């Protein structure tokens, strides 16, 4: 990612974009933390169908929180579920798409 000055284009990154970049870095770290937690607790996604089911389960949990949008604390719960969706999508890429298994 670009820093305060982008080495690829040698232009200064506008302050607003730097704030977004910093926030995305924080969120990405949370997703990776969730991924590491899941890897330590659950077996690998053996097949693409398994991975799809896991992602769908997390997405359904997010949808449940979205539908509860008037309840106290819902934004934090939606955020938690969205982080889990992202982590499971990363795990899908790792376990299913980028695995060392042949296929």
Q: Is the pLDDT of residue 52 over 70?
A: yes
Q: Is the pLDDT of residue 67 over 90?
A: yes
Res 90: pLDDT: 97
- Provide the 3-class DSSP secondary structure of residue 45: coil
pLDDT in tens, 70-90: 888 999 999 999 999 999 999
Res 5: pLDDT: 54
Q: Is the pLDDT of residue 3 over 70?
A: no
7 confidence band (pLDDT: 50, 70, 90): low
Cα of 103 vs its chain's centroid, Å: 26
For 72-99, give the DSSP string: TTHHHHHHHHHHHHHHHHHHHIIIIIS-
Q: How far apart are CA 55 and CA 62, in angstroms?
A: 11
Res 103: pLDDT: 55
Structure pTM?
A: 0.79
pLDDT in tens, 21-47: 888 999 999 999 999 999 999 999 989
């Amino acid at each position: 990612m670009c820093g305060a000055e982008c080495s690829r284009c040698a232009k200064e990154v506008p302050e607003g974009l730097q704030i977004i970049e910093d926030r995305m870095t924080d969120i990405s770290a949370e997703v990776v933390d969730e991924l590491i937690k899941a890897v330590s607790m659950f077996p690998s996604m053996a097949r693409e169908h398994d991975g799809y089911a896991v992602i769908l389960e997390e997405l359904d949990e997010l949808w449940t929180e979205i539908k509860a949008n008037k309840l106290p604390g819902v934004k934090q719960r939606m955020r938690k579920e969205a982080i889990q969706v992202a982590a499971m999508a990363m795990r899908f890429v790792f376990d299913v798409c980028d695995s060392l298994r042949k296929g």
